[in-house]
Structures are given as C-alpha cells and as structure tokens.
Amino acid sequence: MSLSDSPFTNRLNTNYVPSDSEILEIRAVLVDPTEEIARIDAQIAEMELALAQLKEKRGLLQQPINAHRALISPMRFIPQDFLLEIFLACLPTRHNPLIDYNEAPLLLGRICRQWRSVAYSAPVLWSLIHIPAVKYFATPPKIRSRLEKIVEAWLERSAGCPLSVSVHDFANHSSPLLPQLAGISRRLRSLTLAGDADLMSPLLRLGPEDLPLLKTIRVKTMTGQTPSTNILHVPTLEDVALCSTTLRDPLSLPLPWSQLTNLRLECSDRWTGGGVST
C-alpha cells in the first residue's frame, strides 16, 4: 500500500491515539516504504563511494596539472624590473612599512624563491621602515633579539639607499635600536620620532655632519619634555614638524628658514594635523 493511500492520512499530525489493531495496520502500511528507503540509502552509499573515488582520481590528476600550469604562469615571465615596480606599489603610502610578515616588503619574501630573490636584492624596497614600541623590560629576550635582528637585516638590505625611518616609542627610556639608527644617520632622508626625549636623544643630538641627506624631521616628545634641537641645525631640512607641551618662540628654533617649504608647530599633549605651514 502506498503511503498516499494510507487510511490514517487524516489522523497524521494530530493527537489521535490508535487502537491495538490500528497499530498493527500502521506497521503493515510502513513495511514497503521502509524497505524502499533502505534501497535508496544503499544506492546513495554506492553513489557516494563512487563520487569519493572520482574526487580522489580527479585530485591525483589536478595536482600535476596545476604544477605544469604554474610553469607557464604569466607571473614567471614578468621582467624583474616590472616585478619590482609591482612590489613598490605594494608598499603603504600613508606610513612607513611595518615590521609585519603579513605586509610588504616582508610578505614578498615569503611567496616563492624568485620573489624573495627580487625583493631581497632591491635596496629601494627596504629604504623605509617603521620601528614599533616594544616594552623592553616586559618582553622576553628572544623576542627583543628577534626584533633587533629583523631591523638589522632590513637596514642591510637597504644598502646605500637614503632612508625614511619612523619610531614611535612611549614605552621605554632606552633602546638598543636608537644607537643602531644613529650608526646609519648619514643615510637618513626622513625621520619621524615620537616618544621619550631621553630615548630619542642619540638621534636628536646629531648635527649637520651626521645628517647630510636629511630633508624631513618630525618630533613629538612626552609631556613636560624639551627635546634637544641640535638636529634642527641641519641645513638640508625642508619639512619640519614639532609637537611639544612646552610653548617656545618659533623664531628661536635654529632652523634653516630660507630652505623650509613646510613647517608645522604644535603645543599640545597629542599629535594632530594642525599647525603652521609656510
């Protein structure tokens, strides 16, 4: 008997309680459809097994196909100078590149051997860097050492390129990275410093003879601090931004006034976009 011909159709989805004889009748009605479901389940299992075998066979074919197609991938035939231009376009435009393996340029060295070779042999790709704040006394020595080695390798890859460096560190009063930067000061073209004045002093005390390429300097110090202005004597400066909580006569600053194209001065407890431009 088909379920559509069941004499209990009008009793379905109700609270009806069948009698003993009706229970036997219901069980008899369910015999054929239950057997049909078992046959369908067997067919499904058979088809699923066949599908799994086909997927496995397809996978075994797809792997070598993909490997062969990779040999003729258009990216393999891009000239290195074009590839480098693509790499340069991957760099951030609003800030210096971060020490982050998920972003360029570090990410570019993790894709394949060819990309790593191109990236590591292009000094201009490593000529910008942002050095993050790390709480030295609260950070395990292995992590501190790792950061120092990354910065060292980064600067080595930049070869003789002029450098753009930014350091934001309000967490420490000393850092081995600042003297490291002072050692390559003659290549600094742009320098952004935000943090403790004592921490930044190895760079702020540098003079014209140490910074022959410096064109841009941005400095923000902590509340109540007056940073050294020795670095402002650099005659090549064109773009200067100073943020301090200590009010100071701008004309007393030892700046190369005739050389400046942009000047921003702020007396605030935070860095903002305002200031004075000339």
Each of the 278 residues of the chain gets a pLDDT tens digit; together they read 678 778 888 888 898 999 999 899 899 889 889 999 999 999 999 999 999 999 999 999 999 999 999 889 888 899 999 999 999 999 999 999 999 999 999 999 999 899 999 999 999 999 999 998 777 777 788 888 898 899 999 999 999 999 999 998 877 666 778 888 889 999 999 999 988 888 888 898 899 999 999 999 999 887 666 667 789 999 999 999 988 767 677 888 899 999 999 999 888 655 444 333 33
Question: Strand 216-221's sheet: what is its strand order?
Answer: 128-131, 163-169, 188-195, 216-221, 239-244, 262-267
Domain C-terminal end among 71, 93, 114: 71
In a domain, 274, yes or no: no
Domain C-terminal end among 17, 37, 71: 71
Based on the domain organization, do 93 and 57 belong to the same domain? no
In a domain, 37, yes or no: yes
In a domain, 193, yes or no: yes
* Count of CB atoms situated within 10 Å of the CB of 131: 22
In a domain, 127, yes or no: yes
In a domain, 214, yes or no: yes
b or e along 134-149 (b: 16 or more beta carbons within 10 Å of the residue's beta carbon)?
Answer: bebeeeeeeebeebee
In a domain, 275, yes or no: no
Based on the domain organization, do 12 and 37 belong to the same domain? yes
Domain count, the chain: 2
Based on the domain organization, do 124 and 64 belong to the same domain? no
**Residue 37 lies in domain:** 3-71
pTM: 0.71
Count of all residues that appear for the chain in the document: 278
Based on the domain organization, do 145 and 243 belong to the same domain? yes
Based on the domain organization, do 221 and 102 belong to the same domain? yes
Based on the domain organization, do 20 and 151 belong to the same domain? no
Based on the domain organization, do 107 and 50 belong to the same domain? no
Based on the domain organization, do 67 and 83 belong to the same domain? no
Contact 195, 222 (CB under 8 A): yes
Based on the domain organization, do 65 and 193 belong to the same domain? no
pLDDT score, position 106: 97
Domain C-terminal end among 15, 42, 71: 71
Based on the domain organization, do 124 and 186 belong to the same domain? yes
What does the block give as tokens for 246?
A: 């200590």
pLDDT score, position 252: 84
In a domain, 90, yes or no: yes
Considering Cα of 178, then 181, then 183, then 186, what sign does the dihedral take? negative
In a domain, 152, yes or no: yes
Considering Cα of 178, then 182, then 187, then 192, what sign does the dihedral take? positive
Taking the C-alpha atoms of residue 222 and residue 275, their distance in angstroms, rounded to an integer, is: 18
pLDDT score, position 271: 46
Q: What are phi and psi of 189, to 5 degrees?
A: -105, -35
Based on the domain organization, do 31 and 111 belong to the same domain? no
Based on the domain organization, do 162 and 258 belong to the same domain? yes
What does the block give as tokens for 83?
A: 């590839």
Q: How far is CA 276 from the centre of its chain?
A: 33
